[in-house]
């Protein structure tokens, strides 16, 4: 019931103006904030490798990265997971959810497509779980945290899949809408 109300809220409140705002924030973050954070992370940790930037990795990879970061790098990583990496998921959530809502608004009565705008929310949930588990492993290093270290790559894998599927749905939904508009215009001109 609450989920349906939330979806109704999205479909009735999110329009082109909100989408434009989300797009601008997303692009500005990509252009100005992410490169700076990536550069600072590389400078402090000594590497550009990060568990949350990987699609697939293992618990052993996580421990190896924790060792390569050193104490200062691990401290920086933990801090950034609970500062920057709280804001960034909210930025891409805003963009993806508003994009999916605008694209799929026309089909909100189609039961199978109604929930599409919720995909990025799952991605953000797994992103936060990934951040928490990876930061915990970094905090405890060199002590091992086997269960949590094995969960972190699983959370990362699901995060990326939900994000990728969200982008794919935007592209497919836009392509289908353009196809439908073109088909309708061709019918009118005949």
Residue 25 lies in a domain: no
Task: Kindly state whether residue 78 falls inside one of the protein's structural domains.
Answer: yes
72 pLDDT band, cuts 50/70/90, is very high
Q: Greater confidence, 109 or 134?
A: 134
Asked if residue 4 is part of any domain, the answer here is no
pLDDT tier, 96 (very low <50, low <70, confident <90, very high otherwise): very high
| Domain count of the fold of the chain | 1
Task: Calculate what percentage of the chain has a pLDDT beyond 90.
Answer: 86
Share of the chain above pLDDT 70, in %: 99
Would you tell me how many other CB atoms lie within 10 Å of the CB of residue 56?
9
Max CA distance (Å), the chain: 73
Report yes or no on 16 lying in a domain: no
In a domain, 90, yes or no: yes
Least confident of 12-16, 34-38, 104-108, 135-139: 104-108
Would 35 be classed as within a structural domain? no
Q: How confident is the model at residue 163 (pLDDT cuts 50, 70, 90)?
A: very high
Is the separation of the CB atoms in 23 and 38 below 8 Å? no
Domain that holds residue 115: 56-189
**pLDDT for position 1:** 83
5 found inside a domain: no
* 28 part of a folded domain: no
DSSP conformation letters of 159-178: HHHHHHHHHHHHHHHHHHHH
Dihedral of CA atoms 57, 150, 143, 80 in degrees, nearest 10, equals 60
Residue 108 has pLDDT above 90, yes or no: no
């Amino acid at each position: 019931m609450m989920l349906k109300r939330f979806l109704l809220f999205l479909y009735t409140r999110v329009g082109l103006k909100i989408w434009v705002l989300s797009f601008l924030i997303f692009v500005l973050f990509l252009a100005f904030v992410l490169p700076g954070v990536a550069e600072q992370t590389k400078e402090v940790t000594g590497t550009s490798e990060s568990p949350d930037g990987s699609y697939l990795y293992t618990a052993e990879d996580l421990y190896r990265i924790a060792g390569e970061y050193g104490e200062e790098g691990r401290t920086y990583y933990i801090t950034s997971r609970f500062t920057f990496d709280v804001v960034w998921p909210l930025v891409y959530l805003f963009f993806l959810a508003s994009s999916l809502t605008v694209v799929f608004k026309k089909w909100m009565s189609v039961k199978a497509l109604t929930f599409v705008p919720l995909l990025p929310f799952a991605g953000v949930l797994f992103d936060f779980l990934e951040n928490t588990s990876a930061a915990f492993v970094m905090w405890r290093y060199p002590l091992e945290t086997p269960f949590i270290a094995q969960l972190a790559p699983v959370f990362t894998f699901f995060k990326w899949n939900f994000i990728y599927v969200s982008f794919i749905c935007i592209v497919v939904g836009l392509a289908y809408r353009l196809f439908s508009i073109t088909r309708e215009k061709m019918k009118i001109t005949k």
